[in-house]
Chains A and B, each alone.
Chain A
């Protein structure tokens, strides 16, 4: 029975797409609830395979966007670089950070020794 209902719903959704109309969810389905159920956590750290997939996906969408922007190539002037309009600062005395700054900054560093933050030379890439 459940299978049949799913089939009918899928067919309706497909028909809407085919006809070019937008399929809206019935109003009561959108706002009914209101017994909060535990939600499935969306967030996950991608695996190596997923990373490769994401790289390809990013490239694909950028290519699509670049193609759409082709038509502006002949229009418009060359753009200014971001943040260059009002880039001059007034000359002034330096500021001393308050006493908590130094303490919190070192607290945030994963590896430190006395007054130094440690970084592995070989790890710089």
Chain B
């Protein structure tokens, strides 16, 4: 199969089921030059001059800049915003001959955990069409799961890659903070955001990560990590996990999987206590509200788009207004500094844990997805990310892989490894 024929097969599947048929609504824009680019890659393949991503068709979340395509963030604010340059990750993908098929739907400005907050309509879960796919990278997860592309890029601030990967039954990777350049990513929370990958299998998730990672002079927090550990010897389960899992069936499924793998591969299995894990949500949101408020001040309707406060949906507005409250001097200590302190404590707990164990195994999402349009409380909605947020707060790497199904709905399990230990994490994931 050539790159072109593969691309055309994906385009046909999109034509059939994205806006018509199953109405997945994964894409907001398709790349009009994709076929031309695929022909060029096929020529390079013939001459044995193609890059490592030759033949791979990649979808991109709409908050990552791809020159000439719209980076709308699924918002009316940036509805017509055409990216003036390529994000560093896109430059790297293009250099290795990956084909960008289009820009995917998401929760508006990556604010959400369900995929329902897009200004261009919710995305459907290909594994169960009446349920939410999870978010915020809903379109990238569903495009991968529905067979619209080989792999996809998303962004993960508190679980936005791993959460939809879990609900849709695909692999979702959140790299360590700093492992991948954020240059050209429209940020949600700059101290927590990471660009990561979706794929149908671990090898593809790893391949795309290997291409996009690395230090970037344009992005001061990016860096190279030395790889220390070579193999998994001890894995850990978290003592407090059963209490944190709303749906105990998910806890049981993941625990059994971990025990089974430990037995098969002769790993030691330890139970560890992370006492402040239950404060993850309360720590995360004040930080995100402030950073998002600060990051959105540029959307004043002058250089691009519309003024954000006049054109955004409820969740985006809640974060802006909340961030504005915290930013008032009298509230800074009560909310923001307290949250930063809690973050340091959680980070330290993970650092200590990784002195004794190589990987921590836990569920990705503590409950099954709800029906699209079903009204759930704000706290329940924020609760979807209770088990993914800790990795962002600690800056460590994490991956969600399919663990099985409950009531025919995909359920994911996470593997956490220490900062920079992505290779070890991939090795561990492949053993499951």
Residues of A with Cβ closer than 8 Å to B? 22, 24, 27, 30-34, 36, 38-46, 50-51, 54-55, 57-59, 61-62, 64-66, 68-70, 72-73, 75-80, 82-83, 85-90, 92, 97-98, 100-101, 104-105, 107-111, 117-119
User: Which residues of B have CB within 8 Å of A77?
Assistant: 341, 344
User: Which residues of B have CB within 8 Å of A34?
Assistant: 22, 129
User: Which residues of B have CB within 8 Å of A109?
Assistant: 302-304
User: Which residues of B have CB within 8 Å of A87?
Assistant: 220
User: Of A42, A76, A101, which one neighbours B348 at CB under 8 angstroms?
Assistant: A76
A76 in contact with B345 (CB, 8 Å)? yes
Best-surrounded residue of B76, B190, B407 (most CB of chain A within 10 A): B407
A73 in contact with B289 (CB, 8 Å)? no
In the complex, per-residue mask of B391-424: 1 if CB is within 8 Å of any chain A CB, else 0: 0000000000000000111000000000000000
User: Of A22, A57, A76, which one neighbours B342 at CB under 8 angstroms?
Assistant: A76
Cβ of B330 under 8 Å from chain A: no
Shortest CB–CB separation between residue B347 and chain A, in angstroms?
Answer: 9
Cβ of B339 under 8 Å from chain A: yes
Cβ of B321 under 8 Å from chain A: yes
User: Which residues of B have CB within 8 Å of A68?
Assistant: 279, 282
Q: Determine the residue in chain B with the shortest Cβ distance to A92.
A: B217
A55 to B325, CA, bound (A): 9
B302 in contact with A117 (CB, 8 Å)? yes
B122 in contact with A30 (CB, 8 Å)? no
Q: Determine the residue in chain A with the shortest Cβ distance to B78.
A: A108
User: Of B67, B124, B279, which one neighbours A100 at CB under 8 angstroms?
Assistant: B67
User: Which residues of B have CB within 8 Å of A41?
Assistant: 121-122
Given contact pairs A36-B23, A55-B321, A105-B303, a sample of 9 additional A-B residue pairs in the complex whose CB atoms are under 8 Å apart: A36-B129, A42-B373, A43-B119, A44-B313, A57-B378, A68-B279, A75-B345, A107-B82, A110-B305
Nearest 6 A/B pairs, CB to CB: A82-B191, A79-B340, A58-B322, A27-B407, A65-B282, A104-B84
Shortest CB–CB separation between residue B215 and chain A, in angstroms?
Answer: 9
User: Of B85, B121, B279, B311, which one neighbours A97 at CB under 8 angstroms?
Assistant: B85
Given A69-B342, A78-B341, also A101-B314 (CB < 8 A):
no
| Chain B, 296-334, CB within 8 A of any chain A CB | 301-306, 310-314, 317-319, 321-322, 325-326, 334
Q: Determine the residue in chain A with the shortest Cβ distance to B304.
A: A108
User: Which residues of A have CB within 8 Å of B21?
Assistant: 36
Q: How many residues of B contact A (CB 8 A)?
A: 83
A24 to B305, CA, bound (A): 43
Shortest CB–CB separation between residue A73 and chain B, in angstroms?
Answer: 7
B302 in contact with A110 (CB, 8 Å)? yes
Shortest CB–CB separation between residue A98 and chain B, in angstroms?
Answer: 8
A36 to B124, CA, bound (A): 9
Q: Determine the residue in chain B with the shortest Cβ distance to A100.
A: B67
User: Of B83, B342, B408, which one neighbours A27 at CB under 8 angstroms?
Assistant: B408
A40 in contact with B279 (CB, 8 Å)? no
B83 in contact with A104 (CB, 8 Å)? yes
Q: Determine the residue in chain A with the shortest Cβ distance to B285.
A: A65
A104 in contact with B67 (CB, 8 Å)? yes
A50 in contact with B314 (CB, 8 Å)? yes
User: Which residues of B have CB within 8 Å of A59?
Assistant: 322, 325
A98 to B85, CA, bound (A): 8
List 24 interface pairs A-B (beta carbons < 8 Å), by A numbering.
A30-B128, A30-B409, A33-B130, A39-B122, A39-B372, A43-B118, A43-B119, A45-B76, A46-B313, A46-B314, A58-B289, A58-B321, A58-B322, A59-B325, A62-B286, A65-B335, A69-B342, A75-B345, A80-B344, A82-B291, A97-B84, A101-B85, A110-B302, A110-B304
Q: Determine the residue in chain A with the shortest Cβ distance to B345.
A: A76
A85 in contact with B221 (CB, 8 Å)? yes
User: Of A39, A66, A104, which one neighbours B68 at CB under 8 angstroms?
Assistant: A104
User: Of A27, A73, A88, which one neighbours B338 at CB under 8 angstroms?
Assistant: A73
User: Which residues of A have CB within 8 Å of B178?
Assistant: 86
User: Which residues of B have CB within 8 Å of A111?
Assistant: 302
Shortest CB–CB separation between residue A125 and chain B, in angstroms?
Answer: 9
In the complex, per-residue mask of B126-163: 1 if CB is within 8 Å of any chain A CB, else 0: 00111100000000000000000000000000000000
Cβ of B223 under 8 Å from chain A: yes
Cβ of B52 under 8 Å from chain A: no
Given A42-B117, A110-B301, also A72-B311 (CB < 8 A):
no
Cβ of B81 under 8 Å from chain A: yes
User: Which residues of B have CB within 8 Å of A66?
Assistant: 282, 286, 334-335, 338
B221 in contact with A31 (CB, 8 Å)? no
A22 in contact with B217 (CB, 8 Å)? no
A89 to B119, CA, bound (A): 38
User: Which residues of B have CB within 8 Å of A105?
Assistant: 84, 303
A109 to B345, CA, bound (A): 44
User: Which residues of A have CB within 8 Å of B371?
Assistant: 30
Given A45-B313, A69-B282, also A86-B302 (CB < 8 A):
no
User: Of A40, A42, A72, A80, which one neighbours B345 at CB under 8 angstroms?
Assistant: A72
